[in-house]
Chains A and B, each alone.
Chain A
Amino acid sequence: MGFKHKDIIGLQDLTAEEIELLLNTAENLKEINSRDIKKVPTLRGKTVVNLFYEASTRTRTSFEIAAKRLSADTINITASTSSVVKGETLSDTARNILAMKPDIIVMRHAASGAHHYLAQRVSCSVINAGDGAHEHPSQGLLDMLTMRQKFGKLAGLKVAIVGDITHSRVARSDIYGLSKMGANVFLAGPPTMMPPGVERLGNVTVCKDMREAVEGADVVMMLRIQLERQGKTLLPTLKEYSRYYGLNNNVLQLAGKDAIVMHPGPINRGVELCSHVADGAQSHILKQVENGVAVRMSMLYHVSGGELTAE
């Protein structure tokens, strides 16, 4: 069993075995991050371009650290400081970057499907670091790794995902990934933020009330209210949102006694997550960030393995 993809655009495109392989590799790579010398020579001579059209601290830093720990050279391009502000198209930017012979492009883009478009036009590997409201596969993988470390397996877990499902690429990657691995996903959120037909994406149950989703759950995943991404029309007030869809200790008590709380970050404290829970014993939020580096190392390792057939 090997990993045969040139690109990782979404977990929708991967099989359960491929997800398992990525997680197993990540688990074995974790050890490097606790060494004194946090570097292995595996991707020596490879160039990784981080092309970020949207703001990001965690994901971009995490990908950069992951690439550096595998000895790849990294270049960061952020849209706000590049020719993109002069009106260059994605296709032109890609062609110009490609002329400098990178091996992997890690991209974040506001348009869903931008990676698919890019991957068809370049011979190097493309890794999706988040595209619009489509997918965020590295986040999905690190979420699954964190759950697997806690519970030893993914099959049969009850995972509640609460918040703005419509705008969440994290939710989509989690739904695809978790469904393939046999976990059951329960969604809750305001009706204005629940996409119709979301049940068809996988093992998904839509709950009317947040409590229904959280009850007996092994994992409670809170999504960030993306104040920058949506107009004010979907929510009456943040206070009301927090009252019905915020996680506090009272609601968390409904979950299983070993339940863990997760959040893709950055947290809006006091909105979707109260500080007691965010900093509480059940919070695995920093564990997610820690696992993020190992998961991204695994992704970079596996996409760079193949002889590229695209050329």
Chain B
Amino acid sequence: MGADSTVILDGVGVKRALTRIAHEILERNKGVRDLVLVGIRTGGVHLAHDLALRLEEIEGEKVPVGAVDITLYRDDIKGHAEHLPVGKTDIPFSIEGMKVVLVDDVLYTGRTIRAAMDAIMDHGRPSCVQLGVLVDRGHRELPIRADFVGRNVPTSRKENVQVVFDAENTPTEVILQK
């Protein structure tokens, strides 16, 4: 790690934050009934699986996990020199009438979340969509806020926030790069 990066959350901090988010999800939704998690590729998917394990530990019931790729729903597609590779959207269950918790690693401008919500709506009509993120770094460009936040981190636009995952896709730390 370079001299100009700082650790915002270490491994233990990440675990505590995710455990708290899991409890908050259960409290808000009064259990896991009709609840599904949908992670945004790629960091959000890893976190969604992590959260699903925690929910299962607490409630003893499995929560379905899906993955959404937002490439096809981006609003900045013309800005790229060439189109980005398309990842796979994989929601192997009906979201009709379900409570969907959308999971991402870092909440920033809100444009990714807008795209992800459009992608989810194309799969059906959930009864509600909630948003859980590990880090909220501010600078929203759209009227979007998270329901569950691991850590609020004030940042400048020049900085970069990164959630680091190990080989097993377990989140190990969150770093801020200047």
Stretch in A20-28, A115-123, A134-142, A265-273 touching the partner: A20-28
Q: Please state if B81 and A306 are interface contacts (CB–CB under 8 Å).
A: yes
Please tell me if B124 contacts chain A, counting CB pairs below 8 Å. yes
B89: chain A residues within 8 A (beta carbon): 28, 31-32
Instruction: Identify whether the interface residues of A are mostly helix, strand, loop, or mixed.
Output: loop
Please tell me if B87 contacts chain A, counting CB pairs below 8 Å. yes
Which residues 13-51 of A have a CB within 8 angstroms of B? 21, 24-25, 27-29, 31-32, 35-37, 39-42
Q: Please state if A305 and B122 are interface contacts (CB–CB under 8 Å).
A: no
Please tell me if B90 contacts chain A, counting CB pairs below 8 Å. yes
Give 1 or 0 for each of B81-96: 1 = CB within 8 Å of chain A CB. 1110111111000000
User: What is the size category of the interface that chain B forms with chain A?
Assistant: 20 to 34
What is the chain A residue whose CB lies nearest that of B75?
A41
B72: chain A residues within 8 A (beta carbon): 29, 32, 40-42, 70
B85: chain A residues within 8 A (beta carbon): 21, 24-25
B81 to chain A, nearest CB (A): 6
Q: Please state if B82 and A31 are interface contacts (CB–CB under 8 Å).
A: no
Q: Please state if A35 and B77 are interface contacts (CB–CB under 8 Å).
A: no
Instruction: Identify whether the interface residues of B are mostly helix, strand, loop, or mixed.
Output: loop
Q: Please state if A37 and B81 are interface contacts (CB–CB under 8 Å).
A: no
A8 to chain B, nearest CB (A): 13
In the bound assembly, the distance between CA atoms of A4 and B88 in angstroms comes to 22
Q: Please state if A301 and B122 are interface contacts (CB–CB under 8 Å).
A: no
Q: Please state if A42 and B123 are interface contacts (CB–CB under 8 Å).
A: no
A115 to chain B, nearest CB (A): 21
What is the chain B residue whose CB lies nearest that of A24?
B85
Please tell me if A228 contacts chain B, counting CB pairs below 8 Å. no
B56: chain A residues within 8 A (beta carbon): none
Please tell me if A311 contacts chain B, counting CB pairs below 8 Å. no
B81: chain A residues within 8 A (beta carbon): 2, 305-307
A128 to chain B, nearest CB (A): 19
A-B contact pairs, 27 of them (CB 8 A): A2-B83, A4-B82, A21-B85, A24-B86, A25-B85, A25-B86, A28-B86, A28-B87, A29-B72, A35-B123, A36-B124, A37-B122, A37-B123, A40-B72, A40-B73, A40-B119, A41-B72, A41-B118, A42-B72, A42-B73, A42-B77, A70-B72, A301-B86, A302-B82, A302-B83, A305-B77, A305-B80
Q: Which residues of B contact A (CB under 8 A)?
A: 69, 72-73, 77-78, 80-83, 85-90, 118-119, 122-124
Q: Which residues of A contact B (CB under 8 A)?
A: 2-4, 21, 24-25, 27-29, 31-32, 35-37, 39-42, 70, 298, 301-302, 304-307
